[in-house]
């Protein structure tokens, strides 16, 4: 492959960058999967931690919509929070429970989750190029025996690249609208959205939505 040729010629910059990117993606994976996604820990924190977003949206939501108490962990849920049955906690700005990281994606780890997907996409695209550069096609059984694992790796990389790319695009779209996967999928079942005067009362324009999310 290209990286192997560069390593044999003593050109170690690109192989080193590739290894560092892989290491970075692994570290981001563990960081996102092990960190607190924004658990609502107590009633006092829930009441004191009303976000700026929540206070800004009150004029567009009927005053009858109040913070409700979770029937599972018995804390008052801030707006945009939801109880996760798998984590057994209410999560602030709940997006979804990700089976790949075995953790919720919420207020605290959502930006890092996007960073993880971005780094992973770069690693997959580069890995796909590396795998392709190592393939020299010949119509023989011996060639297939020697290259079967490289072929399988390439096809797996292509599949995972498509999945990660679609996931990243969908999340960036939702972030630009200042909505979450849960709110997008369950709009008709969420009281503060169903009774709101606006279709999406949290939307403040693409630029401000992205700024508030990442900065």
Confidence of residue 175 (pLDDT cuts 50, 70, 90): very high
Kindly report, residue by residue over 90-107, the tens digit of the pLDDT.
Answer: 999 999 999 999 999 999
Cβ–Cβ under 8 Å, residues 72 and 5: no
User: 204 — alpha (psi -120 to 50), left (phi > 0) or beta?
Assistant: alpha
Q: What is the mean pLDDT of the chain?
A: 84
Nearest to 45 by CA among 77, 87, 20: 77
Q: According to the model, what pLDDT value does residue 67 have?
A: 66
Active site residues: 98
Confidence of residue 7 (pLDDT cuts 50, 70, 90): confident
Task: Determine the Cα–Cα distance for residues 182 and 40; give it in Å rounded to an integer.
Answer: 17
The structure's pTM equals 0.82
Counting other chains too, the contacts that 87-90 makes at CB distance below 8 Å and 24 or more residues apart are: 87/37, 87/39, 89/39, 89/40, 90/39, 90/40
SS (H, E, C) 70-106: CCCCCCECCCCCEEECCCCEEECCCCEEECCCCEEEC
**pLDDT above 90 coverage of the chain, percent:** 50
């Amino acid at each position: 492959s290209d990286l192997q040729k560069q390593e044999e010629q003593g050109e170690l910059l690109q192989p080193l960058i590739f290894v560092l990117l892989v290491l970075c993606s692994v570290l981001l994976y563990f960081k996102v999967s092990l960190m607190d996604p924004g658990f609502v820990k107590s009633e006092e924190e829930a009441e004191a931690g009303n976000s700026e977003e929540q206070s800004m949206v009150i004029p567009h939501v009927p005053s009858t919509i109040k913070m409700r108490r979770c029937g599972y962990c018995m804390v008052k849920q801030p707006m945009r929070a939801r109880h996760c049955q798998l984590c057994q906690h209410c999560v602030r700005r709940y997006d979804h429970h990700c089976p790949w990281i075995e953790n919720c994606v919420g207020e605290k780890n959502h930006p890092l989750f996007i960073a993880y997907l971005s780094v992973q996409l770069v690693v997959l695209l580069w890995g796909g190029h590396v795998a392709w550069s190592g393939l020299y096609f010949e119509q023989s059984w011996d060639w297939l025996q020697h290259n079967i694992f490289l072929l399988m790796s390439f096809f797996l990389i292509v599949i995972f690249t498509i999945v990660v790319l679609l996931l990243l695009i969908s999340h960036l779209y939702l972030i630009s609208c200042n909505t979450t996967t849960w709110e997008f999928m369950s709009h008709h079942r969420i009281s503060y959205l169903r009774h709101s005067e606006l279709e999406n009362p949290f939307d403040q324009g693409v630029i401000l939505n992205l700024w508030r999310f990442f900065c």
